[in-house]
Amino acid sequence: MSAQCDDRYSEEVFDEVSVSTVTYSDVHNLQLDIYQAVGDTETQRPLIILAHGGSFITGIRTNPSMVALGNAFAKRGYVVASISYRLMSFFDLLSAEGALNGVARALSDGRAAVRYFRKTVDLEANPYGIDENQIYFGGNSAGGVIAVHAAFMQEEDITDPALLAALEILGGIEGDSGNDGYSSDVRGAISLAGAVADVDFISLSENNKLLISCHGDEDATVPYSCGQPLGSGILPELCGGGAMLTHTESIGFTNHQHLLYPGQGHVPWQSGGASEVEMIDFVSDNLYAALDCMNIGVIEGCTDESAINYNLDATIDDTSCFFEDVPDCENITITLLNGWNMIGFSCLNNTNASIAFASIEDNIIIVKDGIGNAYLPEWDFNGIGDLERGYGYLMKVTEQTTNYNICE
């Protein structure tokens, strides 16, 4: 089946990247760098906002990890923005209150960056060619903390009085960094050695949001499980990628993709090399699978006019998902290419995923439906249950398979 994203976003399809700098918060004079592919004429591109690391006391938006990510994803066709945000002083780390106030300021800046781009769509005719419905927030270390909270922390879910007090100083969860009147919602978070103050911020009701986490399980700076960062006995507790994974698995949140760096410490990709390539490829593959252009397709092989488009985002009540008297759809065969594929389930009877894919399960990495449920044969996990006639599914396989008939 041909790629639904027109060969964009999965691999680097552009050679050159331009970088421009703009001020996104007039209130605090904060800037961001925008990475775009030279010659890219697409006007509705997913946007990735990135925040650098540095324990909230140091770091710059042009550090090597941010530059590598900016270039890698711009060459894939994304728009990428690497932001500066307000840093706290070393003395703020000497008290829990000071540290929490400093983190709250950074979270405020991150939300303002999201709002800035929506404001440009509204007031400036979308000068950066973004799709405001496909904004993702990512970050490294402290930036990963910003990213996860930008995606999943809702004010009504906060139970820690100290955190509420820190946010209230800034006027609430949206903060004091400007661009008021626009939404700061994002479609997901990319947490690179990041963490969250409370794993319960990630709820099953937000399973439509994507969470990608990469983390070393020997991280002494941002704990892989739950603990105090920097080995400090003063700082508020944070819960890293391992704790988030345990939580998402326990509540059935299936839209969390986790890359473990076993035996590795803090940000093992920061020196480049194979670890950086592995991280970028992991983020790219899972982000690609979540894009809107990967969630719409047409059943291949059913060429009769009664074969209709299916939509992976559709609900059970949306009858546009279903076939109406499509002939011979059980007899079609398809070729699965190495990597991501989109398939339509055209069999007459709904079938359990573990049965439908039994003949090729050794080649399957993951199958996903339109709301993030997953089938993971290696882990003997079937969150999809039955495959339903007329619905589409994303499948990632390890090798090409020809003449595959899912109904046999």
Sequence ranges of the domains in the chain:
17-294, 297-404
55 pLDDT higher than 90:
yes
341 pLDDT higher than 50:
yes
How confident is the model over 77-83, as a mean pLDDT?
Answer: 98
List, in order, residues 6 or more apart from 170 with CB less than 8 Å away: 104, 105, 108, 176
Q: Worst-scoring range by mean pLDDT, 29-43, 248-262, 273-287, 384-398?
A: 384-398
pLDDT digits (tens, 9 = 90+) for 101-110: 999 999 999 9
List, in order, residues 6 or more apart from 93 with CB less than 8 Å away: 55, 57, 99, 230, 232, 234, 235
**pLDDT recorded at residue 198:** 97
CATH class of 17-294: alpha beta
**pLDDT recorded at residue 39:** 96
**pLDDT recorded at residue 329:** 61
**pLDDT recorded at residue 342:** 80
Q: Which two tokens stand for residue 152?
A: 């999943």
Q: What percent of the chain has pLDDT over 90?
A: 66
pLDDT digits (tens, 9 = 90+) for 234-257: 888 999 999 999 999 999 999 999
List, in order, residues 6 or more apart from 315 with CB less than 8 Å away: none
| Contact (CB, 8 A) for 301 and 358 | no
Alpha-carbon dihedral sign for residues 234, 238, 241, 243: positive
Phi-psi region for residue 10, left (φ > 0), alpha (ψ -120 to 50) or beta?
alpha
pLDDT digits (tens, 9 = 90+) for 165-215: 999 999 999 999 999 999 999 999 999 999 999 999 999 999 989 999 999
Number of residues assigned to the chain? 408
**pLDDT recorded at residue 300:** 38
More confident residue, 322 or 295: 295
Rounded CA-CA distance 378/56 in Å is 38
Classify strands 238-240 and 210-216 as parallel, antiparallel or unpaired.
unpaired
Beta bridge partners of 343: 393
DSSP symbols for 370-387: TTS-EEEGGGTEESS-EE
304 pLDDT higher than 50:
no
List, in order, residues 6 or more apart from 199 with CB less than 8 Å away: 226, 239, 243, 244, 246, 247
List, in order, residues 6 or more apart from 46 with CB less than 8 Å away: 9, 78, 79, 130, 131, 134, 135, 136, 287, 291
Angle between helices 64-75 and 273-290 (to 10 degrees): 50
| Contact (CB, 8 A) for 18 and 108 | no
